[in-house]
């Protein structure tokens, strides 16, 4: 009879440990999902600013059509990205295109003096900072989650419960590592 009680207690303890581990993995996964959602919020804010910025610059530099088309195409690709890797690549390309847009704007003193342009420039700079912070939070969340999935006892239980490692939001090209320069 004592052995039966000990065996039931042991099974109960193991069950409670499995439940606790499962709940821990779910919390980490949810933090990753939330952090990714925050990146998407900031990227959407950035994407919403870009058409206004392009239109403002167009008013002063209408003959720079290629740059405007490049920024618009890069914005579209960034919006269509599905995974963190695709987003990182598309956002890097968009950042480079914005850099070229600001280089065009540099040649127009009246544009640089425009209140509308300066306001958009400030909003974009603030958004770039928010994107950087959101990326850092996301990557920290992914690191914590991946560690929980890949270390014992999580490594034993993660697979059967459907938990797999997540991608980091990494910039692969050196030129993409820097935010576009928005200071005149």
pLDDT tens-digit readout, 137-179: 999 999 999 999 999 999 999 999 999 999 999 876 554 445 5
The first and second tokens of residue 119, run together, are 């306001």
Angle at 30 (CA atoms; ends 24, 33), nearest 5 degrees: 150
| pLDDT higher than 60, residue 91 | yes
Q: Which residues contact 169 (CB under 8 A, 6 or more apart)?
A: 39, 84, 87, 88, 135, 138, 139, 142
Show me where the domains of the chain are located.
Answer: 35-177
Q: Is 183 helix (H, G, I), strand (E, B) or coil?
A: coil
Please state the rounded mean pLDDT for residues 72-98: 94
Distance separating alpha carbons of residues 45 and 128, to the nearest angstrom: 10
pLDDT score at 3: 95
pLDDT band for position 109 (cuts 50, 70, 90): confident
User: Which one of 16-20, 96-100, 177-181 scores highest in mean pLDDT?
Assistant: 16-20
Class at the top of the CATH hierarchy for domain 35-177: mainly alpha
Please state the rounded mean pLDDT for residues 43-66: 90
First to last CA, the chain: 82
- For residue 66, which of 23, 24, 97, 26 has the smallest C-alpha distance? 97
Distance separating alpha carbons of residues 106 and 103, to the nearest angstrom: 5
| pLDDT higher than 60, residue 183 | no
CB 182 within 8 A of CB 121: yes
Average pLDDT value over all residues in the chain:
90
How deeply is 35 buried, as exposed, middle or buried, from its count of CB atoms within 10 A (0-12, 13-18, 19+)?
A: buried
| pLDDT higher than 90, residue 71 | yes
């Amino acid at each position: 009879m004592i052995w039966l009680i000990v065996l039931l207690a042991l099974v109960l303890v193991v069950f409670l440990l499995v439940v606790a581990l499962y709940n821990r993995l779910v919390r980490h996964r949810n933090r990753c999902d939330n952090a990714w959602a925050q990146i998407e919020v900031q990227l959407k804010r950035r994407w919403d600013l870009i058409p206004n910025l392009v239109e403002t610059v167009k008013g002063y530099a209408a003959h720079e059509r290629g740059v405007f088309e490049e920024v618009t195409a890069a914005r579209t690709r960034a919006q269509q990205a599905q995974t963190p890797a695709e987003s990182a690549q598309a956002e890097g390309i968009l950042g480079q295109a914005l850099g070229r847009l600001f280089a065009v704007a540099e040649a127009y003193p009246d544009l640089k003096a425009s209140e509308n342009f300066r306001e958009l420039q400030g909003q974009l700079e603030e958004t770039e900072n928010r994107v950087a912070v959101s990326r850092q939070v996301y990557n920290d969340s992914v690191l914590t989650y991946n560690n929980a999935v890949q270390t014992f006892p999580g490594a034993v239980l993660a697979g059967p419960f459907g938990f797999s490692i997540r991608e980091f939001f990494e910039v692969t090209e050196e030129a993409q590592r820097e935010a576009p320069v928005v200071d005149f």
